[in-house]
Chain A
Amino acid sequence: QVQLVESGGGLVKPGGSLRLSCAASGFTFSDYYMSWIRQAPGKGLEWVSYISSSGSTIYYADSVKGRFTISRDNAKNSLYLQMNSLRAEDTAVYYCARDGTRGPNWFDPWGQGTLVTVSS
C-alpha cells in the first residue's frame, strides 16, 4: 500500500539545523510532486514547501524561504527537508505528503509526521 514515513525530527537549539527525511513506498515516487506541511502544537496546518517530480521546480512558503531547502532522491524514493537557522516558531509536527502528478493539487496520503522542537 502507499506509505510515507518521516524521520529526523528532534530537539534542536535556536539557530541550529536539522534534516528531515521521508521514505516513500507503494507507488512510483518519481511520478509525483511532493510537499512538506507542518502543524505547530495545538494549531492548524501550514504548507511549507513543494518539489516537482524531477526536482526542477521548487516553491517555499514565505515563512521558511531562505532557511529551508527541499530536495528528493528518486533513486532512493526519498524526500528531504534541510532546515537551517531554526526558530522557536518552527516547532511543529512536519508531515510529508504526496502531491499531484502534473502539478500541485491535493495531498494524499500523508505520513505520520515527525516532531521538531526548537528550544534552548
Chain B
Amino acid sequence: QSALTQPASVSGSPGQSITISCTGTSSDVGSYNLVSWYQQHPGKAPKLMIYEGSKRPSGVSNRFSGSKSGNTASLTISGLQAEDEADYYCCSYAGSSTRVFGGGTKLTVL
C-alpha cells in the first residue's frame, strides 16, 4: 500500500490552533473508521493521541481532536503549547489486517 499523505511540516504560535491533514484513498481512510494519530518526540517511542478517528485515550489533553471527511482525516491541536512540538503520524486500517501510516508531520511551535 502507498503511504497516507501528510504535510511535511506545520507551525503555529503558542495559544493558536493548527490542523494536520492525512489523505488516503477509498481503500483505507475512506472505508474504515480506524484512523489513529500518534505523537513522537525526538528519540522517543510514538504515543497514541487519537483512535477511531476522533476518540481520545485517557490522559490525552482535550486540546487534541480528530475528524474525518471522505478520504481525509484531520488532527487539530488547539491552544498550542511548547510541549506539543513533535512529529505526528496518522495511521489507517487498509484491509486484510494491514495498516498504512502517513509520512509524518513535523509541528513547530514558534
Contacts and interface: CB of A to CB of B under 8 A. Distances in A.
A108 interface: yes
Contact of A107 (B91, B100, B102): B91
Contact-residue bracket for chain B: 20 to 34
Interface in B86-110: 89, 91, 93, 96-104
B45 A107 contact: no
B98 A45 contact: no
B54 interface: no
A113 B48 contact: no
Contacts, number: 64
Interface in B1-19: 3
A45 B52 contact: no
Given A57-B97, A107-B38, A45 B91 contact: yes
A57 B34 CA distance: 19
Interface of A: 35, 37, 44-47, 50, 57, 59, 61, 95, 103-113
